[in-house]
Amino acid sequence: MDEYYHHFLTSMSGVGGYFPSNPEELSMSTMPGYHVPISGTMMQNPYHNLGHLGTYPDQSHLHASKTGKGCKKGNRDCVYPDPPASKSSKSKDNNTSQKTSPKSSNEGDDADMDRVTNSLQTILDEDEPEELSSEERSDSQLSGSKATGSSNRNVTTRQSTESLSPDGIKDSSPSVSTGGSSVTVAPSIDLNIPTDGRADWSHLPLDYQHYLNYFVENITSFHYSIMHDADDFFGTILPSLAVQHEPLLNAVVGFATYHATLQNPAGKLQDFLKYYNKSVTLLLESINRKEMNNILNLITILQLLTIEEYFGDWINLMGHQKAAFQVIRKIFTPDTVMHTPVGRACIDWYTRYDCYVAIMGGFPTDLPREWFNRMNEYNESQLGASPDEFRWKISSRSTQLRSISYDMSMLYARGSRGQIGPEDFTKEHKRITNELLEWKSTWDAALSVPEYLVTDFSYQRDVVPGDIVNPYMLGLLYEQPLFTNTLITTEWTSIMIMHLSQSSDIPAEQVFIEMAKHAYTICQYFETVEFWPLKPKGALIPLQPCISIAALFLPRDSRHQMWVRRKFALLDTMGFIHPTTRRIKMAHLFRDPSCAHWWLPNDEGLTPILQAIRTFADERNTAAVNAQQENIREVRHLFAKMEAAELALTAGNDVTGMS
């Protein structure tokens, strides 16, 4: 993984038009004793080599990144190509007096920088080193973390016997013999999480302090599309870990800066890029020092992955995803990952992408079923020990839906590769359908208690001609601690649309009608959350994939189209960018070329900073798209189902969703 990810990060470092004013800035550290000379290439084209951007991934990009020279594992292809050829990455001299100038780091790297790295790291085959057993990995696991600050959390800590170096990572890694081969074991590290729920970052520069404060006050798990954060990882633990590891610090501060910049009329893209680029280049140095396999770097990768999702950059997103997968396999087992709040948060964070990308692209998840089983078993055991705690009821329900998503991805992958016959496919499809329906109908009664339903709609506005749903219907909106009911029901509905799109034994027109009904339900939930004055910050972000899927199955009249366009514009202003490729596709669907420029007439809501971010995103997309990827556009199987159904439907179809 190190060689591929080194090349991948090198292609990303210095991107986006932010250039430090002097070489010294490249080596400046925000942490005492943490000096890393930056060697990432500074690129002349400010928007060079940036990947595809989409509301959801372009299927051609997914397949381009996932297919190539493969091995065989069971009955599925292991389709990760060899990493691109690159110069050997020698560890840099860690002497704190040495600094690397932009000129020296640029020399000889132009060819590497111009190459679009769509291929991903080759997965270990049977003839490669085996994964470590649970015992062999015991020393490499995160030993625990203190986490308080939430009334429903009671977490114990076992401190590691190893000590941290100034950068938060040990300088050496032991080796374990596994059948004649040597496998590097990630070192154990201490994580200092304050018991009062708030880390001290008063020693950091003022800009870092400012954006960390902004993060704590304004960023929630919903900004990460995590609907349930049982241990308050994103509110308490993540900023505490960021202070201990400079690559993560810059990634977290960059994420906060991105959101703050969007809300600032005078905001500049460079305000975000300087932290983002520094995180990338610091992570690159961790690879150079062979120090990638630890929990702090894993979280850094996941944070960078999230940023790529906001840009709709699924090529770069999958590059980080593959790296995260390799680190997870080296520092965790399915059992140990559930032992700490940090491990549980990481696996929840990662598996969301693993399942989502796999379903949209038609290939298997990277993690096998065992990991999902352990997530379910852990939550069930906690629920058995504390049967009245909402957080375990919600966690259990969430992981159950994630496991169903895993089953869906495996079925679709087998179907797309001809590894399952039509009859068996239909049988398994029906089984999953029944699982989805059972999940929806068997909620714990405690999660539906009426006392948490929102019944005060005094904020209700008058009906206007552009409305397509009633967002004030009783029974849809829950307040905390059951607000996740509203979000996860919307997610379930979008999953049903995806699953229906793969049905093979139902007439296309009937499938389309059912998907249209689900689409209206998603629209209703989305607007219910949107109009609620007391909604948590970031609450609409987890619904972004849902509304994007729903938009494909609404009527094509101007009223519905403008409703959808306003929601897309809203999401853009929140930082979830719809790139040009996606806008062109929707412009074709709506038969309105103006969508390719912006969703709303007269550039309504298109602020200068948003325009700059979109330009940045579009340039990345242009650099990453090649001829092969142009052949198939956004989520081909969804559009194929939609187009086939529309041909079968009569013009008088009057599916309605008004409540």
Q: Kindly give the parts of the chain with pLDDT less than 70.
A: 1-2, 4, 6-8, 11-190, 195-197, 621-659
Give the model's pLDDT for residue 160.
37
For residue 147, the Cα-to-chain-centroid distance in whole angstroms is 24
CA dihedral 306, 616, 13, 167 (to 10 degrees): -40
Q: Which spans in 537-607 are helix H? A: 544-550, 558-573, 580-590
Give the model's pLDDT for residue 607.
94
Q: Are 436 and 499 in contact (CB under 8 A)?
A: yes
For 407, residues 6+ apart whose C-beta sits below 8 A from its C-beta are 432, 435
Give the model's pLDDT for residue 306.
96
User: What does the DSSP 8-state code read for residue 203?
Assistant: T
Give the model's pLDDT for residue 645.
54
99/38 Cα distance (integer angstroms): 8
Q: What is the pTM of this model?
A: 0.75
Q: Are 48 and 311 in contact (CB under 8 A)?
A: no
Residue found by looking up tokens 């050997």 in the block: 88
The sign of the torsion formed by the CA atoms of 101, 105, 106, 107 equals positive
The sign of the torsion formed by the CA atoms of 192, 198, 199, 200 equals negative
Which residue type occupies 420?
A: I
CB atoms within 10 A of CB 116: 17
Give the model's pLDDT for residue 430.
96
Give the model's pLDDT for residue 317.
82
Query: Distance from first CA to last CA of the chain, Å, rounded?
Result: 52
372/319 Cα distance (integer angstroms): 22
Give the model's pLDDT for residue 40.
35
Q: Which two tokens stand for residue 366?
A: 């990277």
The sign of the torsion formed by the CA atoms of 460, 464, 467, 469 equals positive
Q: Are 216 and 260 in contact (CB under 8 A)?
A: no
Phi then psi for 177, rounded to 5 degrees?
Answer: -80, 130
Give the model's pLDDT for residue 86.
40
Give the model's pLDDT for residue 416.
87
Residue found by looking up tokens 């519905």 in the block: 560
Distances (CA, A) of 140 to 143, 530, 648: 8, 44, 57
Cα-based angle 271, 276, 282 (whole degrees, multiple of 5): 135
